Amino acid sequence: MIELRTPAEIEAMRPAGRFVAEVLATLRDQTRVGTNLLDIDRRAHEMIRKVGAESCYIDYHPSFGASPFGKVICTSINDAVLHGLPFDYAIRDGDLVTLDFAVSVDGWVADSAVSFVVGTPRDEDLALIDTTERALDAAIGAAVVGNRIGDISAAVAAVAHGEGLSINTDFGGHGVGREMHGDPHVPNDGKPGRGYPLRAGLVLALEPWFLQSTDQLRTDADGWTLRSADGSRGAHSEHTIAITEDGPVILTDRSFLGVS
């Protein structure tokens, strides 16, 4: 069921969005060569406990997951792009890292992801990250009253296709509210003018993610981590936004922290 939020409810969602933004900015700043993925998860867990938030991941067990996730943050490295289950791995120079984080604060959820390179970057990795970020900007720009879900999807796809990338639509954006994943599904490819009409009060997590040379995924032995089928690298950018009569509001915006 698609739910629309009142202006007061959207205001009530801001603390969750701000906290998610702060955690991702902090963890990104603290992640360097030698940082262990389990330490990233532990630090995220500490920050959750400190503010009394609730993890959306630790007990999460959808049909596509082999078991409850068991951690509080997704850490995807290089050819992993989604649902990366933290494990005993020390980040190496040049690794492409994606952190995806969602929590509930006072019963309201926010969800966001950021990709970045640790240490010496490859030009192609920076270009892929930039493409996901530009696709996210385009998606947010299309998230206005009077448009439809297909307009958001088409905006994402236009950026990806402009860079010669193919698109997987199995996983994409989604509604956000009291739960992490709700209706509607927002695929990263679609036709403008199609799908659910965008109305004020709709809150969505928009999340372009792309792989460098494929749109096919394989699941790791951990039952969660999704990697590219051909070993090429992936990047993922995500924000939780609210559609209002005055335009989209980015609830997980990190710019107030002086970072993107």
Summarize the annotated binding site as residue ranges: 83, 100, 111, 174, 181, 207, 238
Would you give the end-to-end CA distance of the chain in angstroms?
32
Give the contacts of 37 (CB within 8 A, at least 6 positions apart).
Answer: 75, 77, 84, 86, 87, 88, 89, 91
Structure tokens at 140: 């947010």
In this structure, what is the dihedral angle of CA atoms 167, 68, 253, 209, given to the nearest 10 degrees? -10
Alpha helices in 143-204 (DSSP H): 149-162
Could you give phi then psi for residue 18, rounded to 5 degrees?
A: -65, -40
One-letter amino acid for residue 149 of the chain: I
Q: Which residues are annotated as a binding site for a divalent metal cation?
A: 100, 111, 174, 207, 238
Looking at the DSSP assignment, which residues form a beta bridge with residue 238?
A: 113
DSSP code string of 119-142: SSPPHHHHHHHHHHHHHHHHHHHH
Backbone angles phi, psi at 80, to 5 degrees: -85, 140
Binding residues for substrate: 83, 181
